[in-house]
């Protein structure tokens, strides 16, 4: 990992520790163990940034900072990479709390929602310290934040408790649930005086977000079925708009996943979208992204080999 990125990640970890210490109990305790609960294999917050379960693209603002330092647009002393990465972490943890409480209410007590309020307050506050009210940044912020909200609402209304036909155009909506992750990227582009880069890297993010969401939906296939949360991936496994009572849907989707290659096929689509994202850039433009795609696709390939374990779990529903 490049030295400047390693330095920034450690600084973000220290910033998070300071934030946690300033919270009242039980929020401080919950915030301290939250990253570990979301990515069990991560030994610390720096590792959490690279864990497949923890949306590794939290590092994207740091890759951009490294590029802009190399290009002479910033010096690195401004701390733009740190601020953007720190805001990214806070926004991401807020979204993860909302997602997990909605999907698995029995696993989380109501205090987590109060913790989410603290995360989103810190997210807004960090960005507000960087940009004045008249900055064009806030237009990008609003667009990306609304896109995340609208696409999340679309999936919950279209798929929550229903099975609807899966269309190829739905892939963009699936990835759009993660559009909020573009906010810190927009921040560092504007801070570096490169607002025109937002569209360029936003397109890269579109492909990466689709890959990330397909990965998430594949590994949470069993959990989503148990909670009657019919994601687009489950709908595509069932077929073209097939509909049945809840238990019948669960059984039918389980059988099709067990006897077909649906999960493996979608993981392969995720691999393809990661590679498509790289093709939008010049070779070596963002070395950190090259490293990420190689590591993520290796993980997805290994997951495909382990898919039999997921299928055995389906049998236990």
**Residue 260 · residue 237 · CB < 8 Å:** yes
DSSP state of 229: B
Using alpha carbons only, how large is the chain's radius of gyration in Å? Answer: 20
In angstroms, the CA 249 to CA 235 distance is: 10
pLDDT tens digits for range 60-118:
999 999 999 999 999 989 899 999 999 999 999 998 887 776 666 666 677 888 999 99
Binned at pLDDT 50, 70 and 90, residue 1 comes out as very low
Of 241, 257, 260, 258, the closest CA to residue 159 belongs to 241
What local confidence, expressed as pLDDT, does residue 241 receive?
47
Residue 25 confidence (pLDDT) above 60: yes
Mean pLDDT of 115-132: 94
Tokens found for residue 109: 């007590």
Give the pLDDT band of residue 17 (cuts 50, 70, 90). Answer: very high
Every domain of the chain and the residues it spans? 1-130, 150-179+195-317
The total number of residues written for the chain in this structure? 317
DSSP string, 9-28: HHHHHHHHHHHHHTSPTTHH
Alpha helices, DSSP H, located in the chain: 3-21, 27-38, 45-48, 60-70, 80-103, 111-130, 137-159, 170-176, 182-191, 197-219, 221-226, 232-238, 246-259, 262-279, 287-305, 307-315
Higher-pLDDT residue of 295, 163: 295
Euclidean distance between CA atoms 247 and 129, whole angstroms: 50
Tens of pLDDT, residue by residue over 146-187, are 999 898 888 777 665 566 666 777 888 889 989 999 999 999
- CA-nearest of 12, 6, 4 to 126 is 12
**Burial class of residue 195 in the structure, from the number of CB atoms within 10 Å of its CB (0-12 exposed, 13-18 middle, 19+ buried):** middle
Task: Report the percentage of the chain scoring pLDDT > 90.
Answer: 45
* pLDDT over threshold 60, residue 2: no
* DSSP per-residue letters across 48-89: HTT-GGG-GGGGHHHHHHHHHHHTTS--STT-HHHHHHHHHH
Sole residue written with tokens 């300071």: 18
């Amino acid at each position: 990992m490049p030295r400047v990125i390693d330095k920034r990640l450690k600084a973000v970890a220290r910033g998070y520790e300071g934030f946690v210490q300033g919270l009242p109990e039980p929020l401080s305790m919950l915030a301290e163990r939250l990253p570990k609960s979301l990515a069990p294999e991560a030994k610390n917050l720096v590792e959490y940034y690279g864990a497949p379960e923890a949306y590794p693209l939290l590092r994207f603002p740091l890759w951009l900072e490294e590029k802009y330092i190399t290009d002479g647009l910033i010096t690195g002393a401004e701390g733009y990479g740190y601020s953007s990465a720190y805001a990214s972490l806070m926004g991401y943890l807020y979204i993860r709390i909302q997602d997990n409480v909605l999907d698995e209410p029995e696993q989380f007590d109501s205090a987590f929602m109060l913790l989410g309020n603290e995360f989103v307050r810190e997210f807004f506050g960090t960005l507000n310290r960087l940009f004045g009210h008249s900055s064009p940044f806030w237009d990008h912020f609003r667009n990306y934040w609304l896109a995340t909200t609208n696409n999340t609402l679309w999936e919950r209304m279209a798929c929550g408790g229903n099975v609807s036909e899966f269309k190829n155009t739905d892939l963009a909506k699936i990835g759009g649930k993660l559009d909020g992750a573009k906010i810190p990227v927009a921040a560092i582009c504007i801070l570096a005086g490169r607002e025109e880069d937002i569209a360029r890297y936003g397109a890269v993010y579109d492909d990466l977000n689709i890959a990330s969401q397909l990965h998430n939906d594949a590994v949470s296939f069993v959990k989503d079925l148990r909670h009657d949360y019919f994601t687009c991936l489950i709908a595509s496994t069932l077929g073209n708009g097939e509909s049945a009572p809840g238990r019948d849907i669960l059984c039918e989707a389980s059988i099709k996943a067990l006897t077909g290659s649906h999960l493996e096929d979608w993981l392969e689509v995720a691999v393809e979208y990661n590679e498509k994202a790289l093709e939008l850039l010049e070779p070596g433009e963002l070395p950190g992204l090259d490293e990420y795609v190689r590591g993520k696709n290796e993980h997805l390939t290994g997951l495909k080999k382990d898919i039999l374990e997921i299928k055995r779990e389906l049998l236990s529903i």
